[in-house]
Amino acid sequence: MLEIAEGVYRVPARAANTYLVEADNGLVLVDTGMPGSEKRILKAVASLGRTPHDVKLILLTHRHWDHIGSAAALKKETSGMLVSHGFEKPYVAGTLVVITPRAWSLYGRIARRVFAVASSTAKLFRLVKYHPVLVDEASDEESILDNAGLDGSIVWTPGHTKGSVSLFVNKSRVAIIGDLLRTKRGKLREPLFMENTTQTMSSVQRILDLHPVILCPGHGKPLPPSKVRIKERKAKPVKMETKKEEDVDLESLAKDLSAEAS
């Protein structure tokens, strides 16, 4: 466990980072790692001199198993209210299963092939030992951070998934961003998968507009905003030649038809 800023701790769990934030009424946990991460997280809670009962809020940044994996166990063992964006709720509850989004990078395409092999929900659940759990509240409820006594905001930052959210802590100006970006070779870059690249760009801007001191990703080290490196992706221009050819074809077809008619 590492203190990122005053009262904000990075707790590496199985396959992803989780974060503990000190609040007036106890602790806020952001993300839960892959299944089987609960012991590691509760150990970190204990090392802060707290009990599982002190965890008042468990915020899931998005639907992927490396973030929601230990949510069921931690909801059971702590006093944390389980919260995610409404769009992610059915995935956490196991009624919808993640379909790998349109991948744009080479590694993303390879990973998609690998994931495609395990296609049925039950098979996947067995494979990752995921225990579905009901989310208590949607992240846009205004009272959620008040209940935990945390001065901050839950920001909707879609892109990686439709219901991705980030936590911004006002006091330390820390942004915990899930998989909005990931740290790779000392830079904050786009994740391997994005459901919507345009949304990713505007979500990153939304976070930068809050003037954070440090960004805490789900994968890799927390870094300052000056390390953000994302490629601008412009929509491909429409090929006008194709359209012209079609026009010509239609014109000649019209001529042929009129010739036949006469």
Contacts of residue 28, Cβ cutoff 8 Å, sequence gap at least 6: 20, 21, 55, 56, 57, 59, 145, 148, 150, 167
Candidate list 38, 88, 179, 195; residue touching Zn ion; CB under 5 A:
179
- Per-residue CA distances from 213 to 17, 83, 222, 227 (Å): 18, 25, 10, 11
Nearer to Zn ion, 45 or 215 (CB): 215
Nearer to Zn ion, 22 or 88 (CB): 88
- Closest approach, Cβ 96 to Zn ion, in A, equals 15
Cα gap 113→202, rounded to integer Å: 28
- Closest approach, Cβ 107 to Zn ion, in A, equals 14
As given in the structure block, the two tokens for residue 55 are 């965890």
Contacts of residue 50, Cβ cutoff 8 Å, sequence gap at least 6: 26, 27
Binding piece for Zn ion, criterion CB under 5 A, among 33-41, 126-134, 172-180, 249-257: 172-180
Total binding residues toward Zn ion, as defined by CB under 5 A: 2
- Closest approach, Cβ 62 to Zn ion, in A, equals 6
As given in the structure block, the two tokens for residue 30 are 């952001």
Cα gap 228→230, rounded to integer Å: 6
- Closest approach, Cβ 193 to Zn ion, in A, equals 7
Tell me the Ramachandran region of residue 36: left when phi exceeds 0, alpha when psi lies from -120 to 50, beta otherwise.
Answer: left
* CA nearest neighbour of 145 among 161, 166, 121, 164: 166
Nearer to Zn ion, 64 or 75 (CB): 64
Nearer to Zn ion, 60 or 73 (CB): 60
Alpha helix (H) ranges present in the chain?
38-47, 65-68, 71-77, 89-92, 106-117, 121-128, 144-148, 197-208, 240-261
Q: Is 20 exposed, middle or buried (0-12, 13-18, 19+ CB in 10 A)?
A: buried
- Closest approach, Cβ 192 to Zn ion, in A, equals 9
Nearer to Zn ion, 38 or 179 (CB): 179
Binding piece for Zn ion, criterion CB under 5 A, among 62-70, 128-136, 150-158, 195-203: 62-70
Nearer to Zn ion, 50 or 219 (CB): 219
Under the binding rule (CB under 5 A), the answer on residue 64 touching Zn ion is yes
Nearer to Zn ion, 54 or 190 (CB): 190
Fill in the DSSP letter of residue 223.
B
Binding piece for Zn ion, criterion CB under 5 A, among 39-47, 60-68, 99-107, 139-147: 60-68
Nearer to Zn ion, 22 or 190 (CB): 190
- Closest approach, Cβ 211 to Zn ion, in A, equals 25
Cα gap 200→223, rounded to integer Å: 18
Binding piece for Zn ion, criterion CB under 5 A, among 21-29, 87-95, 144-152, 173-181: 173-181
Binding piece for Zn ion, criterion CB under 5 A, among 25-33, 57-65, 98-106, 227-235: 57-65
| Residues near Zn ion (CB under 5 A) | 64, 179
